[in-house]
C-alpha cells in the first residue's frame, strides 16, 4: 500500500510538472506571417542587406533582413505588434550593423489598409514630373577657348555664360544622391554624384585640368577605364540619371534609373532632353496574415 501511495504521488507530480512545462512553452508571444511581394529591387553588394520595419505606436520594429530579391518572402513577426502596425518601411542597411534604428536609406514605404500595404518610393521623392536637359561641351580643357572637341563632354543644364540648371527633380532626403552616367563601350561611366543642380558634382575622374561649370557633368579625357578609349565621343550614347544610396559600394548605377536620354549629334548651344523611366522604380505590396 505504501509503495502504491508513493507511486501515485510521483505520477501526480510528473503530471503537474508536465502541465507546468506546457504552460511555460505556450506563454511566449505568438507570431504571424508578414509576406513581402516586391518588384524592381536588385541584389545589393556583400556589404549591405535589405531590412523591413513595421511602425507600431510611432516606433520602428524590425521584421528581419534579406538579400534575395526573389519574391514572395515570408517573415514571422510578433502577432500583436503586426496587428497594431500602421506602416511598413524597407531600408538598406549595413550587413554588419551596430545601430538598431533604420538607416537613412529608406527605399519603400506604404501604410496598411486592412491587411495590405501598397509600397512605393515616395519616401525617396516624388518623381512624377521628373525632367531635364543636357548639352555637349568640354569646358575643362578650354580655359575659355573652344577647342572643337565638344562631343567629348556632357553637362546637365542649359548652356550659357555660365550654364544654368534645368532639372525638374525633388531635393532628396539624407541617404540618397543623384548620379549621372554615360554608357561607354564597356559599360556605364559615372559623371559624379550630386544633390544640388547649380554646382559642379562631387567628382571629376575623367575631366581635364580646368574647372567645370556650375552644373553637374563630365569631360572624358583622362584615366580611361579598361575597355574604353578616350577622348570619348558622347554622341549617340545613352545618358542616365539615377538615384543612388549613400553610402554606395557599387560602381554600377542603382536600380532607380529615373531619367534616360540619348545624346544627339549637335553640340552646345543645342540641348538634348531626358525622358522619364519611372518603370525602374521599385514597388510592391506587403500583407500581414
Confidence check: pLDDT of 86 > 50: yes
- What pLDDT score was predicted for residue 53? 98
Where do we find the cell 507530480? Answer: 13
- Cα gap 258→264, rounded to integer Å: 20
Q: What is the DSSP letter of 121?
A: G
Percent over 70 (pLDDT), the chain: 89
Confidence check: pLDDT of 274 > 60: yes
Q: What is the DSSP letter of 211?
A: P
Q: Check: CB of residue 279 under 8 Å from CB of residue 25.
A: no
Three cell numbers at 168?
A: 525638374
Distant-in-sequence, close-in-space partners of 65: CB < 8 Å, separation ≥ 6: 49, 50, 51, 52, 93
pLDDT tens digit sequence for 138-184: 999 865 556 789 999 999 999 999 999 999 999 999 999 999 999 99
- What pLDDT score was predicted for residue 41? 97
Among 65, 71, 104, which residue's Cα sits nearest to residue 195? Answer: 104
Is residue 72 reached through a cis peptide bond, with omega within 30 degrees of 0 on the bond before it? yes
Q: What is the DSSP letter of 98?
A: -
- What pLDDT score was predicted for residue 120? 98
Confidence check: pLDDT of 21 > 90: no
Listing DSSP states for 141-210 in one string gives GTTT---S-GGGEEEESB-SSS-B---B-PPPPTTEEEEEEEE-SSSEEEEEEES-SSS--S--SS--SS
Which strands form 275-276's sheet, in the order they lie side by side?
Answer: 188-194, 176-183, 238-245, 256-262, 275-276
- What pLDDT score was predicted for residue 147? 77
Confidence check: pLDDT of 85 > 80: yes
Among 93, 95, 91, which residue's Cα sits nearest to residue 46? Answer: 95
Q: How far is CA 88 from the centre of its chain?
A: 16
- Cα gap 167→106, rounded to integer Å: 23
pLDDT tens digit sequence for 127-151: 999 999 999 999 998 655 567 899 9
Mean pLDDT of 254-261: 98
Phi then psi dihedrals of residue 80, to 5 deg: -65, -45
Q: For every residue of 236-289, which 3-state class applies, written as one string?
A: CCEEEEEEEECCCCCCCCCCEEEEEEECCCCCCCCCEECEECHHHCCEEEEEEC
Mean pLDDT of 52-62: 98
Amino acid at each position: 500500500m505504501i509503495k502504491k501511495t508513493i507511486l501515485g504521488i510521483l505520477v501526480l507530480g510528473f503530471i503537474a510538472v508536465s502541465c507546468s512545462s506546457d504552460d511555460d512553452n505556450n506563454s511566449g508571444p505568438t507570431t504571424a506571417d508578414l509576406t513581402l511581394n516586391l518588384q524592381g529591387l536588385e541584389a545589393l553588394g556583400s556589404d549591405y542587406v535589405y531590412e523591413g520595419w513595421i511602425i507600431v505606436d510611432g516606433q520602428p520594429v524590425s521584421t528581419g533582413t534579406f538579400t534575395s530579391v526573389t519574391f514572395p518572402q515570408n517573415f514571422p513577426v510578433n502577432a500583436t505588434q503586426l496587428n497594431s502596425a500602421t506602416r511598413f518601411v524597407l531600408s538598406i542597411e549595413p550587413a554588419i550593423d551596430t545601430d538598431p534604428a533604420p538607416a537613412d536609406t529608406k527605399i519603400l514605404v506604404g501604410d496598411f489598409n486592412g491587411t495590405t500595404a501598397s509600397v512605393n518610393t515616395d519616401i525617396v521623392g516624388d518623381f512624377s514630373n521628373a525632367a531635364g536637359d543636357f548639352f555637349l561641351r568640354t569646358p575643362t580643357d578650354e580655359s575659355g577657348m573652344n577647342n572643337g572637341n565638344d562631343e567629348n563632354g556632357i553637362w546637365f543644364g542649359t548652356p550659357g555664360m555660365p550654364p544654368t540648371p534645368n532639372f525638374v527633380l525633388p531635393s532628396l532626403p539624407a541617404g540618397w544622391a543623384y548620379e549621372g552616367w554615360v554608357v561607354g563601350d564597356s559599360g556605364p561611366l559615372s559623371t559624379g554624384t550630386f544633390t544640388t543642380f547649380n554646382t559642379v558634382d562631387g567628382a571629376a575622374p575623367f575631366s581635364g585640368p580646368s574647372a567645370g561649370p556650375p552644373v553637374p557633368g563630365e569631360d572624358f579625357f583622362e584615366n580611361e577605364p579598361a575597355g574604353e578609349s578616350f577622348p570619348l565621343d558622347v554622341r549617340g550614347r545613352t545618358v542616365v540619371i539615377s538615384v543612388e544610396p549613400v553610402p554606395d559600394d557599387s560602381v554600377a548605377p542603382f536600380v532607380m534609373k529615373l531619367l534616360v536620354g540619348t545624346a544627339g549629334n549637335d553640340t552646345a548651344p543645342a540641348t538634348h532632353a531626358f525622358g522619364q523611366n519611372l518603370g525602374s522604380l521599385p514597388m510592391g505590396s506587403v500583407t500581414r496574415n
